[in-house]
Amino acid sequence: MSSFINIGKVEFQKIGSFKLILLIIISALITFGLSLSFILYKKEYLLSEGLMEIQSIISISAYFATFTLAIFSAINWYYLISFENKNGTWSILLTKPISKFKLLMTKHTLHLVMYIAFNILYTTASFILLIIMNIEFNISEFLKLQFIFFLVAITIPYSQLLFHLMVKNGLLAFSLTIIILFFFLIKDIIPDIFAMFIPLLNVDNVWIDIKNTRIITLYCIESILYGVIIFLISIKNNYYTYE
């Protein structure tokens, strides 16, 4: 366990702790800024439709958080995986007495830590947004909604990981982020029966019927399974050698 923490710490320092922390803060700030701008721009409409309540505001901020998360996770995987491809340093890492599994687990753990940090800051940003908008809310309900987002949004970074595994060049993989955005934008025209089974769209689907516990649980499980499957694919295959 201690060696895991040690490797994680060293990996974090190698990439640049300041860089990563700045990335999280900027992502959260951008989410906050976009959400606030949108809500202020559409304030009249939201008030008239009775949408100035916690669920709608959280779903709006989640919508923008999805975009920033897509870019944030692309950059994160670039530093964790594609950076090694770019520098050819897999040849050093794979020929030293360190378990490949441990190394990859550490990278995944570091990514999860960054994802959690992003969510913490995003939760803070949403909290501030609700305060600014003078919306009354129940803390437990707020935390529940944020936790649901945390679970379903895991599909986004793991979809990014797929791109980074398929395309060795990190910047080309980054350009495929547009595909994630595309699926979000066409979600409304995809028949619901198909949309339910595209894990990537869970982060949007979940807000449609937030009170239905069964459906929400299904989405959360589907998202976690998706993440686990991609994680298993990433550590099983030889994506990190010369071939």
Partner 1 sequence: MEAIITLSNVSKSFQLQQVVKNLSLTIPKGSLYGFLGPNGAGKTTTMRILVGLIEADEGEILFKGKNIKKWRKSLFNHVGCFIDSPSYYPNLTAYENLAYIQKITDKPLAEVDRVLNVTGIYYAKDKKVKNFSMGMKQRLGLAFAMLNDPDILILDEPTNGLDPEGIHEIRNFLINLCKNEGKTIFVSSHNLAEIEMMADYIALINQGKLIYDGKLEDVLISEEYIVKVKQSEEVIQMLTNSGLDVTRLKDNKFSFKADQYKMAVINKKMAEKNIDVYELTPRKRTLEEIFLNLTKTDNPLKKEVGLYE
Partner 2 sequence: MSFIEEFKKIKGSGAYILLAVLLLLPICIQGVLGLGPIVTDYKYYVTTFGLFCRLFLSVAIGLLISLSFYNEYRRKGYLNVILNGHSFANLIINKMLFFYTFILVYLLTALFISLGFQLFDGSNIGLYYKELLISFSFLFITSILLINIHMFLCMFFNQHTMISLIISVLCSFLNVFIVPTQLWIMFPWSYPTRILYFASLNTLDFVTILLITICSFALILYYNSINVRST
- Interface residues with partner 1 (CB under 8 A) are 3, 6-7, 10-11, 14, 16, 87-89, 91-92, 94-100, 103, 238, 241-243
- The entry of partner 1, partner 2, none that residue 172 binds, CB within 5 to 8 Å by partner kind: partner 2
Closer residue to partner 1 in complex, CB, 87/212: 87
**Tokens encoding 69:** 């998360």
- The entry of partner 2, partner 1, none that residue 242 binds, CB within 5 to 8 Å by partner kind: partner 1
SS3 for 87-143 is: HCCHHHHCCCCCCHHHHHHHHHHHHHHHHHHHHHHHHHHHHHHHHHCCCCCCHHHHH
Contact 152, 65 (CB under 8 A): no
Closer residue to partner 2 in complex, CB, 38/127: 38
DSSP state of 34: H
Q: How far is CA 79 from CA 15, 51, 103, 202, in A?
A: 7, 40, 14, 26
Question: Quick one: which of 7, 20, 58, 71 contacts partner 2 (CB under 8 A)?
Answer: 71
Provide φ and ψ at 168, rounded to 5°. Answer: -65, -35
Site for partner 2, residues 4 to 43, rule: CB under 8 A: 34
Question: Quick one: which of 93, 143, 186, 221 contacts partner 2 (CB under 8 A)?
Answer: 186
User: Which helix or strand (DSSP H or E) is residue 48 part of?
Assistant: helix 43-48
The C-alpha atoms of residue 229 and residue 223 are separated, in whole angstroms, by 10
What would the x/- binding string for partner 2 be over residues 133 to 172, using CB under 8 A?
----------------------------------x-x-xx
Question: Quick one: which of 2, 18, 134, 178 contacts partner 2 (CB under 8 A)?
Answer: 178
Chain residues in the site for partner 2 (CB under 8 A): 34, 67, 71, 167, 169, 171-172, 174-179, 181-182, 185-186, 189-190
